[in-house]
Amino acid sequence: MSRAEMLNRFRNKAEHFGEKATMESILSHLQGAYRDIPAQKPIDRYRWDLSDDVIEIPAAPHRHGRGRGKVPAVFGLGTPWRRGRAMQAFDDSVVQFFNRCGLLMKTSSLLALPVFAFVLVTGVVERVCSQSVDPVQALAALQDKILSKGPHGEEPSPASSVSLTSEEIEKIRGLKAKAAIVMHYTRSDWSQAQVAGIRSQFDKMGIEIIAVTDAGFQAERQVTDIEMVLAQNPQVIVSIPTDSVSTAVAYKKASQNGVKLVFMDNVPLGFEAGKDYVSVVSADNYGNGVASAHLMAKALHSSGEIGLVYYAADFFVTNQRYLAFKATITKDYPGIRIVAEQGIREPDFFNDANKAASLMLSRNQNLSAIWAVWDLPAEGVMSAARALDRRNLVITTIDLGLNVAVDMAQNGFIKGVGAQLPFDQGVTEALLAGYGLLGKPAPAYVALPALPVTRENLIDAWRTVYHTGVPASITDRMK
């Protein structure tokens, strides 16, 4: 393989370095390009430790000799490789590369991958760690774009493409249909706005809501909720699965009983649009992750050390937010380093996030900001920052809940929010339920765009998100 061919292969891989790649995939790729690089076994000795921002590579003799040796001049690295001191062998350009990516590379013996070092100093650096983008311009470019794909990789259809004629609505009214709303959790502003949007549109369609359930993020409880509402013979269920695997059998029973299923955000495992369910409606969660990253970069002037509080469960939309935020920071803002990450789980998101943030802040005195996966965990992060008197901490998150909006209004910790449009999502879900009742073909995946929110557009954003007046608790703090 020629040098040019090798570089092209590495450039293709390097686009995702620091985002999705692991040392296993990097080594596998290296071994495919250069067979004389020794295989490193067992592979689980490779560790990507994000909490310490260190990549550790097990020692291995390189192909130019054992013990002490010199990397050939072609690599541009003439320093001897010494046992336990391999980091000294990197010249300034490689060290700067790792610093910009927020990483250190170390090994307990000889450097195993001289070819990798060669690639870094011969062109990949510029591609992987590009100059910071302008976050203001990036946010403007994001407007009205949808970056997410559906749970099965579907291209998004806009909410504007979903509508019913007056004649269709009259047909639906004549059916006197009943519907249940089966939620994962109802004690959030997002959930309440979703239900409000569904109610608003169902009222116009003459559909009676016979139940609204709250599973408390517990899959077992949601299965029970589904069984309970099925006993009431609804024609429609609008729902967000708490767990796409554990709830699948219960939803399948509903589908087989002829119930028209419309999902929010997530789809049960093995379900097919148009067969097992009508459609799934979601915010642009990937886009919101991107927006929250640009908002953080704007607040930090594209420089600083940050931590991430993510949802440690296999939940499609929160995974999308996390991946998007991390990818955007890594790719667009080399001056921002992710130095800590911590996952949280139900049932107590506030306290779990509080503990995670307290630990991050205690261990990282230079931490400038923390990203939280949605507004309730962000409230836990705020509480931790107050308790530790970290008044200058920057927080960005997803979802414009009341408490984070109040904090933003008073120039507090919250500097940016990637907002969803839950009321409009609810209206769209109700319309799609009408599609199901009529047997009208529906798009498999419908998405609504992200709405970046700062203090400057907070008032207008609140009205857009909730279709209500702005609470005095917000307006009073804007004065």
The parent domain of residue 38 ranges over: 3-127
How are beta strands 47-49 and 54-57 bridged, if at all? Answer: antiparallel
Within-domain flag for 188: yes
pLDDT of residue 129: 42
93 in the same domain as 24: yes
pLDDT at site 178? 98
Same domain, 414 and 438: no
pLDDT value at position 66? 36
- Per-residue pLDDT of the chain in tens (479 residues, 90 and over written 9): 443 444 444 444 444 334 333 333 443 433 333 333 333 333 333 333 333 333 333 333 333 333 333 322 222 323 332 323 333 333 333 333 334 333 333 333 333 344 444 444 334 334 434 467 999 999 999 988 999 999 889 999 999 999 999 999 999 999 999 999 999 989 889 999 999 999 999 999 999 999 999 999 899 999 999 999 999 999 999 999 999 999 999 999 999 999 999 999 999 999 999 999 999 999 999 999 999 999 999 999 999 999 999 999 888 899 999 999 999 999 999 999 999 999 999 889 999 999 999 999 999 999 999 999 999 999 999 999 999 999 999 999 999 999 999 999 999 999 999 999 999 999 999 999 999 999 999 999 999 999 999 999 999 999 999 999 999 999 999 98
Q: Given this model, what pLDDT does residue 314 score?
A: 82
User: If DSSP states are collapsed to H, E and C, what string results for the chain?
Assistant: CCHHHHHHHHHHHHCCCCCCCCHHHHHHHHHHHCCCCCCCCCHHHCEEECCCCEEEECCCCECCECCCEECCHHHCCCCEECCCCHHHHCCHHHHHHHHHCCCEEEECCCCCCHHHHHHHHHHHHHHHCCCCCCHHHHHHHHCCCCCCCCCCCCCCEEHHHCCCCHHHHHHHHHHCCEEEEEECCCCCHHHHHHHHHHHHHHHHHCCEEEEEEECCCCHHHHHHHHHHHHCCCCCEEEECCCCCCCCHHHHHHHHHCCCEEEEECCCCCCCCECCCECEEEEECHHHHHHHHHHHHHHHHCCCEEEEEEEECCCCHHHHHHHHHHHHHHHHHCCCEEEEEEEEECCCCHHHHHHHHHHHHHHHCCCEEEEEECCHHHHHHHHHHHHHCCCCCCEEEEECCCHHHHHHHHCCCCEEEEEECCHHHHHHHHHHHHHHHHHCCCCCCEEEECCEEECHHHHHHHHHHHHCCCCCHHHHHHHC
261 shares its domain with 309: no
The pLDDT, as a whole number, for residue 347 is 83
| 291 is a domain residue | yes
Question: Are 294 and 349 members of one domain?
Answer: yes
CATH label of the domain that carries residue 228? 3.40.50.2300
Asked if 108 and 188 sit in the same domain, the reply is no
Note whether 388 and 403 are same-domain residues. yes
Which residue is it, tokens 């609008």?
238
- The answer as to whether 436 is a domain residue is yes
What pLDDT score does 315 carry? 83
pLDDT of amino acid 267: 94
Same domain, 379 and 262: no
417 and 427 assigned to the same domain = no
Question: What is the pLDDT at residue 61?
Answer: 35
29 occurs within a structural domain: yes
Q: Determine, yes or no, domain membership for 191.
A: yes
**152 assigned to some structural domain:** no
Pair 246, 371 in one domain: no
pLDDT of residue 131: 67
Q: Which two tokens stand for residue 96?
A: 């700067």
8 and 40 co-located in one domain: yes
pLDDT at 443: 97
Overall domain count for the chain = 3
Residue 85 included in any domain = yes
430 plus 317 within the same structural domain: no
Residue 437 has a pLDDT of: 98
pTM given for the model: 0.71
How big is the chain by its Cα radius of gyration, in Å? 25
| Residue 369 belongs to a domain | yes
pLDDT of residue 313: 85
Kindly state whether residues 46 and 59 are assigned to the same domain: yes
